[in-house]
Amino acid sequence: MQVVNSLISKIQKATQLQRPSFSSSQLLLWVAFGAILSAALIVRIIPAKYGFYLNEFDPYFDYYGSKFLVDSFNEKGITGVLDYFTWIDTKTWYPEGRPVARTSQVGLHFAGAIFYLIATNILQVSTTLYDAVVIFPVIFGTATVIPIYFITKRIAGNGGGLLAALLFAYSPHIINRGNIGWFKSEPFALFLALSGSYLFLTLYDRNLNGRSFIIRALLAGALLGYANTSWGGSLFFNVVFTTVLVFTPFIASIDQRKAIYGNTIFVVFYLLTTAMFPRPGPSILTNPAGIGLLGALGFTLLAYAINNLSSLQNNLSTIKRVLFSGVIVGVIVVSFNVISGVSGRYQTAIYPYLRSGNPLVESVAEHLVPSGATYISSYLIILPLAVFGSILLLRQRDIASLYVLSFGLSATYLASSFSRLLVFTSIGFGFLAAFGFIMLTKNMFRPGISVATKTRAKLNQTSPGAKFVYSLIMILLISFPVISPAPSLNWIDSYDNPYAISNGGAGAARSDWFEALTWINQNTPEDSVVAAWWDYGYWITVMGNRTSLADNATINGTRIARIGQTLMAPEGQALSNLRDFDADYVLIYIGGQKITQEELDGSVYTLGGGGDESKKQWFIKIGGLEMDDYTERDSFTPNGQFWEATLLGKMMPFAPYKFVDRSDGQLYDEYQDGRIAVYQYSQKYPQRGVTDGLQLAFASSSVQAGHPDGAFGGVLIYEVVDLEEPSDDSSDESSE
């Protein structure tokens, strides 16, 4: 009986709820961290005031891929998911279609589908897949604050971790590629890769042993490998970890034997997880990214063997010579193309001075080269703090410092090629600036020693007033980019942008694209093929539910070039090309301004609002045509040849009127440098055709003649008509 009572007493004690105790510093820490998470969430949902939509172009196809997985799972169960890997989507890149698994971010498609199925089937959340993937990037973008904090904490303590998390929460380069509706690669892949990075760094903790060590190494590799399947840009982490592994043998504080086991498990699962999916697939094992990682692992094994198994007198010098020889061999192997090559995009990232010269690549805004002014305006005080932090980190001799330094320097170098890679620079600068700020603050407040007398020294403490002034100045400097009165510098202003589908990629929110895609979905035959510039292919396929000729995958540059040639060709040749494409409709998008003044002969229009009128230069370049044949000396203003002898010019419902001089505001008949072309409304193709050619089938509201003054961004859709004889209406009119 005594034993029973004792057991009951122990159970009661074990199950008794005790009031948790926190120190004031712990409570303040978690309140601050909670505030940062809340801020990260809030700024990422700012565009929700314009509606609840997917943003940009690619997220529509990624939603389309996740939808296929969900529909297949609901219809066939787990076996239906396997259909994804053999899926040839014939609604894109007509007529050959697109092998989705080999040309898509497979990991993201699966993540979106699993996220939705868990939310609806397990958590019992009532939502649609579309709404689930709209909010998906907000959740994972906010959650990424957590690994950012814990990684930085390892080098800069809690204060540094909070600052890095705060910078990540507000960074415009990260948020603008990870806000609400951005169901694209970056938010999810960064969460996976940074979480895996933190787990990797914990492998070097001295108190970590046994099962936990193996699980963390395995999980770190799997997370980073899965990140590669979700975003090609995740291969950036190959560079970081290759560098980390190469320098690991030179860090004396590391348990090298333990590091060998952890690194081997990590690299094996990293590469296996990447190779399991069609993209990147097994080629990761034979391309420079995989070879570099395997080579770095091999070097660590060899260095360990030299240190522990050899009888050499100067092991460190031997290891350095081996490393130098390995680098030379690697350069030679890559130079002679012994291993599989790298795409032009990755080559440009590695060699920033080597631009592809491919106008199709150069036409994409995210491929622009960031200037020095971009770095200064984007980061301001963060930039000098990051430089200061990187200098100090060179003195550190631990794995976390090596990782952060490798991350920051690699990101700075690679981002010099593509503005899209500024997401990595923003993270790297956040790490480095947080460390620099903490070290600067410690040095500012460190007590100094002064000699008061010959026999006694005393400490000089920083006065409370000086501490207050320093704190105030640093808070203002760090906060300035967020609340700057200059719109070009203000981070908050940069988040407040309408969805691309609501403004066509430029300008204020409008309903034109929604009107056009709804019309396509409801008023065209289901087997219709719609020709358009490749920017709009995903929208046509996913939201319009019709077949497109080309889209943002750009998997067939020849097709895109031919579409550009067709739009810039004379009417007869263009119509012949459209029939060769088997196109039933051709769509264009136009942006500009409508102006009505008493002194003008009716309303006039200016063009240049981010539509096809602004992209025609790329139609010309990608199509291999001559710019001077279609534009004035500024390579933008359309000339007479454009308006009279191109299909695009005839489809645009405008005709040249005058030129406005910027200096005096007067109207002139001839173009000169500094003059802006203005146009009058002139619809060339009728709404009902009587001969072969095009007829206007749809015009969205803002591009119609009666639309109010101001900015417009309209969609026009023309039907490709193939009449063998006049219509009944035209016969009646003729007989009269």
Amino acid at 43: V
pLDDT given at position 470: 77
Q: What residues of the chain score a pLDDT lower than 50? A: 725-736
Residue-wise pLDDT for 142-190, tens only, equals 999 999 999 999 999 999 999 999 999 999 889 988 999 999 999 999 9
Mark 480-490 as b/e (b = at least 16 C-beta within 10 Å). Answer: bbbebeeeebb
Element spanning 655, H or E: strand 654-661
User: Does residue 98 sit in helix, strand or coil?
Assistant: strand
Contacts (Cβ under 8 Å, ≥6 apart) of 606: 592, 593, 595, 676, 677, 678, 679
**Distance (Å, whole) CA 346 – CA 359:** 16
Beta strand 529-531 pairing with 585-595: parallel
On whether the CB atoms of residues 161 and 152 are closer than 8 A, the answer is yes
Amino acid present at 717: I
Separation of alpha carbons 509 and 436, rounded Å: 41
Q: How far apart are CA 493 and CA 490, in angstroms?
A: 5
For the record, the structure tokens of 98 come out as 């697109």
DSSP H helical segments within 568-629, as ranges? 571-580, 612-622
- The Cβ of residue 315 has, within 10 Å, a number of other Cβ atoms equal to 15
* Torsion sign across C-alpha atoms 467, 470, 474, 480: positive
**143: which 2 tokens?**
């959650």
pTM, to two decimals: 0.88
Looking at residue 443, its pLDDT comes to 79
- Residue 338's beta-bridge partner residues? none
Query: For the segment 38-55, what is each residue's pLDDT rounded down to a tens digit?
Result: 999 999 999 999 889 999
Other beta carbons within 10 Å of 204: 21
Measure CA of the first residue to CA of the last residue in the chain; give whole Å.
115
The kind and range of the H/E element at 448 are: strand 448-451
